[in-house]
Amino acid sequence: MAVMSPATSLVRSQSPQLSHPRILVAEDDREMRRLVIEELRRDGYDVVDATDGGQLLLRITDFYRLRPTPDPIDLIITDIRMPVCNGFDIIQGLRDADWMTPVILMTAFGDDEARTRARLLGAVLLDKPFEMTVLRAHVRALLRGDDRGQTLAVDEIYSK
């Protein structure tokens, strides 16, 4: 069984046999999940979804532990408050295991504590509702390895 180093940032562009970045989207609100997935697929990304924190854990386990040749997840976009397990706890577990996959957290309950925790986890935090152009700009920045993904300026967001 092939094992990927957990300290590796799993950016698909480093894998020549894989053509489209894979994004895992976890959101318990069906309509929000549909909107995000449609927008990402329109941009050409390979999108896998999860309907709650439990499914997010299963998807991560499936991609990283159970496949003989793992297909990496290049980016995780997850809601914070979901049934079964919250996004913060899952991302904290990944970071504790040295998985550095980029993350965008979404929440309708963004406060200073949530922003601080997201920043400490190296994640982008988007407050719902947000414009899809903002999400798309952060996705592009994180997938190209731009560590400024957390602090994109307004002109950078609307320039593409």
Collapsed DSSP state (helix, strand, coil) of residue 127: strand
Query: Looking at the domain 12-157, which fold is it?
Result: Rossmann fold (3.40.50)
Higher pLDDT, 62 or 39: 39
Whether 140 has a pLDDT exceeding 50, the answer reads yes
What are the b/e assignments for 38-75, b being 16+ CB within 10 Å? ebbeeeebbbbbbbbbebbbebbeebbeeeeebbbbbb
Q: Give the model's pLDDT for residue 4.
A: 36
Higher pLDDT, 1 or 157: 157
Q: Give the model's pLDDT for residue 62.
A: 83
Whether 18 has a pLDDT exceeding 60, the answer reads no
Instruction: Say how far apart CA 8 and CA 10 lie, in whole Å.
Output: 6
19 in Cβ contact with 44 (< 8 Å): no
Contacts of 150 (CB under 8 A, 6+ apart): 119, 123, 124
What pLDDT band is residue 88 in, cutting at 50, 70 and 90? very high
What pLDDT band is residue 1 in, cutting at 50, 70 and 90? very low
Termini Cα distance of the chain: 41
Q: Give the model's pLDDT for residue 72.
A: 80
Count CB neighbours of 32 within 10 A: 16
Give the pTM: 0.81
Q: How far is CA 36 from each of CA 5, 24, 27, 45, 74, rounded to the nearest angstrom?
A: 29, 11, 9, 11, 16
Higher pLDDT, 159 or 36: 36
What pLDDT band is residue 146 in, cutting at 50, 70 and 90? confident
- Residue ranges of domains in the chain: 12-157
Whether 149 has a pLDDT exceeding 80, the answer reads no
Give the pLDDT confidence of 30-43 residue by residue, as tens digits. Answer: 999 999 999 999 99
Mean pLDDT, range 5-12, rounded to an integer? 38
**Among the ranges given (12-16, 63-67, 102-106, 123-127), the one the predictor scored with the smallest mean pLDDT:** 12-16
